[in-house]
Structure 1
Amino acid sequence: MKVDDHTPPNGTVRDWLDDRASTDGDRDAYLFFDGEPALTWSDLQSKAKQLAQQLTALGLNKGTSVAILQPNGRKAIECLYGVLYGGFRATVINLVAGDEAIGYALDHCEARIALVGEAQVNLFERVSPTRMSRLTEAGDNKAPVLHRLEPADDALLMYTSGTTGRPKGVVHSHASLLAGGWTPTVAHRLTPSDRGLCVLPIYHINGLCVTVISALVSGGSLAVAEKFSTSKFWDQCEEAKATWFSVVPTIISHLLHSDITPSPNTRDRLRFGRSASSPLAPDVQTAFEARFEVPIVETMGLTETAAQILSNPLPPGIRKIGSPGKAFGNEACILSPDLIPLPPHLQGEIAVRGPNVMREYLKNPDATGETFTSDGWLRTGDLGHIDNDGYFFVTGRLKELIIKGGENIAPREIDEALYSHPDVIEAAAFARPCKTYGERVEAAVKLCDGSTLSSEQLVEICVQKLGAFKSPDTVYLLEELPKGPSGKIQRIKLPEMTR
């Protein structure tokens, strides 16, 4: 099966895995740093088929949810592909979401079978509904006929972070899941000779689609780390002979502030690094590239779009610092408040439509209806504008805007002002209720070891760059800012943490 720059992948995950096994069977597909042997495409197909048959023999209907509670590693890859190969809905559980959110997801998805890692058994037994059981038996030797699959069949169920209420279950088909691996393949010109480094959890859409599924679509390979480690990152790039990696802005900042540098061989081998999940501060990107000589490609994506919707072109194409780039493999636009596409330079809500867009929120027709416009645009909830060259610029989240005295203030403006000081590793502005203005601006930062910066000095930096009205009244110095599974800072938790 071939990749076309203009046409999303046909078929199902089963079709693509069968094709990889038949044409590239002895090539390494997924490699690991924990001592587990690499998976070739033939190995993976065999393991996936075996698990698919075992699940089918249990009498599970096509499209039934099968919960996966697995950390990054060989077993997680085998479980994911096994569930997809069998025609079931891979319900990938965020292992750090907390007992309440995990229990809700396990109950809401209505799965009766779960594939649980050894270290997650206690968690599963603590929060799982009584109808659900772990798959522990090897099964018999029967080889039942697998369900017939179509591209439109359910493939993935992944729950959002739930920062504004109950987590929502995002449903992707085989077609949209494959398209989620296709968009970075096209944007980053991934080939069978490329090897990615995955340090993000594959129970997050960035790790799953951008790295795991793109390897299937591109025919390349992927080295899967258990988790991100500042001290191990560059050594892992060297050991894996990685040609690219996908990370988030907080990881880029942590690498920048470490005293570890890549070897010349690693630096020369890396074609690019990829940043996603939240905006990358221009000062951090510029400093990273100047120090490590590795170009960073900023992108943008959502769980609802199987990750990537926008990307900057690879060098020597024009990368615009501060922009997540242009649409690749889908359409994107800026919508007015009455949901009409706007011309360049006018601010509105970023929207997307294309083959990588979800089908629905599971059992939540109201939320699904609110998210899609009548002509098929998915509303992202992000504010921004587009320039004359088709590059998008994100100014903030609709739900994160700070409304001070009736004026909208985007937290990103304050973030970037704080990141302009080289001692700042993490930064996030947020709103605090205020009797005078309705809301006031505050912020929290993590500083590098040995920094003598004070809260007052950080406020003054903001005043100089933004003026007093937009600047935070207080900047809290924290040892760590709260983050989600991908490493994205969670602003919603900061008001409580800084009481």
Structure 2
Amino acid sequence: MAQQLEFTMGGLLDHVAERYPANDALVYPERGLRYSYREFNGVCRQVAKGLLRLGIKKGDNVAIWAYNVPEWVVLMFASAKIGAILVTVNTAYKSAELEYLLNQSDSTTLFMVKSWKDTDYVATLTDVVPELPVTKPGELNNPKLPFLKTVVFIGEETPAGMLNFNQIMEMGKEVSDAELAAAEATVDKHDTIQMQYTSGTTGFPKGVMLTSHNLVNNGFFIGECMKFTEKDRLCIPVPFFHCFGSVLAVLASVTHGTAMVPVEIFDPLKVLQTIAAERCTAVHGVPTMFIAELEHPDFAKYDLSSLRTGIMAGSVCPIEVMKRCVKDMNLTEITSVYGQTESSPGITQTRTEDSVELRVSTVGRALPGAEVKITDIETGATLPPGKQGELCARGYMVMKGYYKMPEETAKVIDADGWLHTGDLAVMDENGYCKITGRIKQMIIRGGENIYPKEIEEYLYTHPKISDVQIYGVPDRKYGEQVMAAVIVKKGEAMTEDEVREYCRGKIANYKIPKYVKFVEGYPMTASGKIQKFKLREMAIKELQLEEGEGA
């Protein structure tokens, strides 16, 4: 069994700051910000004290809604130091999703930036909590969100009703080292420390409860598979709110004393500039990000010779893209990771010494300390190599469960502790796995997991819609796109734009159907179940999409 780390997340940072005090920890070239591990730990301690002064206690849920700003990483460790639970909010969320998450998570505090892309966060939150601008900071009282009391703004010009992140830093000065040490002493490595929301087949997102032990070790072993050391420098263009950012990037780095060089909002040119300027040795991304970097008109202007490794994950890695990354970006040791939020997230990973063929045709073998098996969907029996079945995983990385959803937890974690992923896979005799399909009807668009049920539940609220089925169709750029087959109520007429317009501002843009088809009925099984795979096949034919376009 691989040797696991025994630190809490807060304790890990203390240890690394002691071991590599002068090493770069967090670097934002555009901001002129460069924290050494000693400085970074000092800032995290200061914010942890500020959280205590704010009245945040161990076990309180604290949400963050922001792109890759420095405060995100600081808050991740500051909250962990005092045992508060960081609830990560998808940057693409709109009002209905935000309200659901804040309510379901019982978050007492929300940290947020002003906006992201086309979404004005302040207006969106005010839509959910109209009384915010006329309420004294820290005294929110909304019957729909009974737990939410405080909103903290990250940035200049704090909106009415909110505190500013800098005030939390100042408040930290009123708390002694002894008080912080006392709070830290109560935190156990098996306490929930982060809650990430993943959509479910029930249609409503579920809060995945992850512990320090889950996250620190997953980050550590993922870093080990890339052969990270204190000399590595990782460019991070993937979002922190996903495990890809917070675990595969941040914790893979911190467990090895590696420098983190984030890109705040993905832009292929900024990634190239950052790698060249900071001599990054590693870079992460989903396939669409690597394609955008490789195809940028200024690609050849940047010296990427410092690169060595990184992770391409989030959806199927096209062979040609992986080969171009190796050849043109110098990523000779790039790896791929497979997993899901419920497993912190990594389950399998290719290794730096694996052949390019293995790295593109499989998702690797079990991470150290993880067990993987393929089981028969009907009987649950373990299958031999070469047979397709459901991929199940067990080990230190399996979540505690879904927040306040014991029945849903029991559906995915069996009595023996095996996590049932819902993914179909084949394992070879060396333990290398290929993902061959999905039992669940999940759509993966550009690395974002989309659960049809969630969009269906929302569209059912449209007064003209009688029934709707959401499914994925192949797309060369994103892997898959969302398609809706809509049955309109008798006597009503509807356009494709009406369907999309109804979603705008209410659900994340990436979930809005690209294709809408109006139908009279659906293909059914003899027992009356809708056959989504047939809807998909029909769409591929009608829209002249190729199954090989990345599906």
- Deviation of residue 131 (structure 1)? 4.1
In structure 1, the residue matched to 2:396 is 355
Question: Percent of aligned positions with the same letter in both sequences?
Answer: 23
The answer to whether residue 188 in structure 2 is matched with residue 150 in structure 1 is yes
What residue in structure 1 maps to residue 48 of structure 2? 52
More divergent stretch after superposition (186-195 vs 127-136)? 127-136
DSSP 3-state at the match of 2:255: helix
For residue 346 of structure 1, report the CA deviation from its aligned partner: 0.8
- In structure 2, which of residues 435, 441, 444 is the aligned counterpart of residue 394 of structure 1? 435
| Equivalence for 2:174 | 141
The question of 1:253 aligning with 2:253 is answered no
CA contact (8 A) 1:67 1:92 kept: yes
Matches within 5 A, 1:180-329: 180-262=218-300, 265-266=303-304, 268-295=305-332, 296-315=334-353, 319-320=357-358, 321-329=360-368
Question: What letter is aligned with 2:191?
Answer: D
Whether the 8 Å CA contact 2:23–2:230 is kept in 1: the answer is no
Q: Which residue does the alignment assign to 1:486?
A: none
In structure 1, the residue corresponding to 2:63 is in which secondary structure? strand
1:248–1:276 Cα contact (<8 Å) kept: yes
Q: Distance in 2 between matches of 1:436 and 1:74?
A: 51
The unaligned stretches of length 5 or more in structure 1 are: 403-410, 419-423, 444-468, 482-488, 492-499
Match for residue 10 of structure 2? Answer: 14
Distance in 2 of aligned mates of 1:352 and 1:436: 33
- SS state at 2:336 partner: strand
Deviation at 1:262, TM superposition (A): 5.0
Note closer, same or farther for the CA distance 1:114–1:76 as it changes in structure 2 (3 Å cut): same
* Aligned twin of 2:461: none
Report the alpha carbon displacement of residue 310 of structure 1 after superposing the two structures with TM. 1.0
| Aligned-residue offset at 1:184 | 0.9
2:30 pairs with 1:34: yes
Aligned CA distance change for structure 1 residues 57 and 334 (closer, same or farther; 3 Å): same
Match of 2:373 among 314, 319, 333: 333
Partner of 2:127: 126
**Contact 1:14–1:85, Cα closer than 8 Å, also in 2:** yes
CA contact under 8 A between 1:254 and 1:425: conserved in structure 2?
Answer: no
With structure 1 as the length reference, what TM-score do the two structures score? 0.79
Q: Which letter maps to 2:312?
A: S
AA of the residue aligned to 1:214: A
What's the TM-score, normalizing by structure 2? 0.72
Distance in 1 (CA, whole Å) between partners of 2:123 and 2:146 is 14
Partner of 1:475: 543
- 1:150-189 pair list within 5 angstroms: 150-162=188-200, 165-189=203-227
Structure-2 separation of matches of 1:203 and 1:436 = 38
Matching residue of 2:99: 103
Give deviations 1:190-224, integer Å, cap 9, x for gaps: 11111111101101111110111111111111101
Q: Which residue does the alignment assign to 2:62?
A: 66
Q: One-letter code of the match for 1:18?
A: D
Assess if the C-alpha contact under 8 Å between 1:183 and 1:309 holds in 2. Answer: no
The CA deviation at 1:386 is 0.4
Secondary structure in structure 1 of the residue aligned to 2:299: coil
Partner residue, 1:407: none
Q: Contact 2:16–2:257 (CA<8 Å) still a contact in 1? A: yes
CA offset at residue 358 of structure 1? 0.8
1:36 offset after TM fit, Å? 4.3
Measure the CA separation in 2 of the matches of 1:65 and 1:258. Answer: 41
Q: Any conservation in 2 of the 1:246–1:275 contact (CA below 8 Å)?
A: yes
Is the aligned partner of 1:425 residue 2:477? Answer: yes
What RMSD, in angstroms, separates the aligned Cα atoms of the two structures? 2.9
Aligned residue identity for 1:113: T
Q: Which moved more, 1:178-187 or 1:343-352?
A: 178-187
Contact 1:156 1:171 in 2 (8 A): yes
For residues 374-423 of structure 1, what are the alpha-carbon distances to aligned partners after superposition, in whole Å with 9 as ceiling and x for unaligned?
A: 21110111111101121100011112389xxxxxxxx99x85xx7xxxxx
The SS at the match of 2:22 is coil
| 8 A Cα contact 2:47 2:78, kept in partner | yes
Q: Residue 229 and residue 58 in structure 1: after superposition, are their counterparts in 2 closer, same or farther (change >3 A)?
A: closer
**C-alpha separation in 2, matches of 1:430 and 1:391:** 30
* 1:53–1:146 CA contact under 8 A, matched in 2: no
Question: Offset of 1:26 from its aligned partner?
Answer: 2.3
Shift of 1:73: 1.7
Distance 1:118 1:328, change over 3 A: same
CA-CA distance at 1:114 after TM superposition: 2.1
Shift in CA distance, 149/390, structure 1 to aligned 2, threshold 3 Å: same
Query: How big is the shift at 1:70?
Result: 2.4
Whether the 8 Å contact between 2:16 and 2:255 is mirrored in structure 1 is no
Q: 1:60: Cα distance to partner?
A: 3.2
Count, aligned residues: 434
Gap runs ≥5 in structure 2:
116-120, 130-144, 153-162, 444-470, 486-520, 526-530
